[in-house]
Amino acid sequence: MTDTTAASPLQGNVLFYAQPEPLSLEVHGALGVDAVDKPYAFVAQTNLVPVMVTEFAPAALSYPVIFVGENKQPVAVMALRGGENLFVSEDGEFRPEAYIPAYVRRYPFVFANDDAQQRMILCVDRAAPFIKEGGSTPLFVDGQPSPYTQQAMEFCNNFEQERLRTEAFLKLLTDMDLLDTREAVFTPRNPDGTAAAPQKIAEYYAVSEDKLKALPAKKLAELRDNGALGQIYAHLVSLLGWDRLIALAFQKAAAAQPAAGNA
């Protein structure tokens, strides 16, 4: 098992997007979307998916929610190593009980900055396999964005607001110096049942419970009143999910063994 943060694909802000293009009637007027039963194959090789602060509580029911990289990006951990996902099948189906982050649900649309015009531009990933010429749900109708595209634009607008809210939350954690490095450790068993040497499976940033307890009452009240304290507790509770990830990894390895033996 490898260090989770070392395998992070979160460089830049276009994870999953292979060919993002500014959406326009001239270029994309004939395109549409075909419904897909299992549309999330693009997530199947990604172990870390960004989450917004307001998603911490629902995401915590499925994944560890940790902070990674120089910018302390909050992410849901979906596998113990890069290049795989224990919650998404290769053909693109999420486990039915798993929370699907908004970062995934907004695909294939995304906002990009137009620095020259100081505005946001809606882009679409032209490489998305379910976007096709003459797709059943058009992107444009009568020369105007279709209801589907308008809904996507509203979702991306809301996502942008949540992204700004998440940045403010991270600034709060940084200003209060609440984040520390932490390790996720697994202790395997020897054949005789005794504990073997512990193995580090990830290193990441998390809120320090000791630092949180040491805050002055006024600062704790500030976190409580602005809603940040609830998000912090959701993050801390989510860290219990490392055991679930380890169990899923062993299940996947065990399921693959018979196939390897018959090869």
Q: What is the pLDDT of residues 239-263, one digit of tens each?
A: 999 999 999 988 888 887 765 455 4
Nearest C-alpha neighbor of 43 from the set 3, 124, 122, 102: 102
Three-state secondary structure call for residue 100: coil
pTM of the model: 0.86
What pLDDT is attached to residue 36?
85
Q: What is the pLDDT of residues 175-208, one digit of tens each?
A: 999 999 999 887 766 777 676 677 888 899 999 9
Separation of alpha carbons 212 and 176, rounded Å:
9
Residue 127 pLDDT > 60: yes
245: Cβ–Cβ under 8 A, 6 or more apart, which residues?
63, 64, 77, 79, 80, 86
* DSSP letter, residue 105: H
User: What amino acid occupies position 8?
Assistant: S
Separation of alpha carbons 187 and 200, rounded Å:
9
Q: What is the pLDDT of residues 25-42, one digit of tens each?
A: 999 999 999 988 889 999
What are the structure tokens assigned to 175, written together? 């200003």
What pLDDT is attached to residue 11?
33
- What percentage of the chain exceeds 90 in pLDDT? 75
Residue 12 pLDDT > 50: no
Residue 79 pLDDT > 70: yes
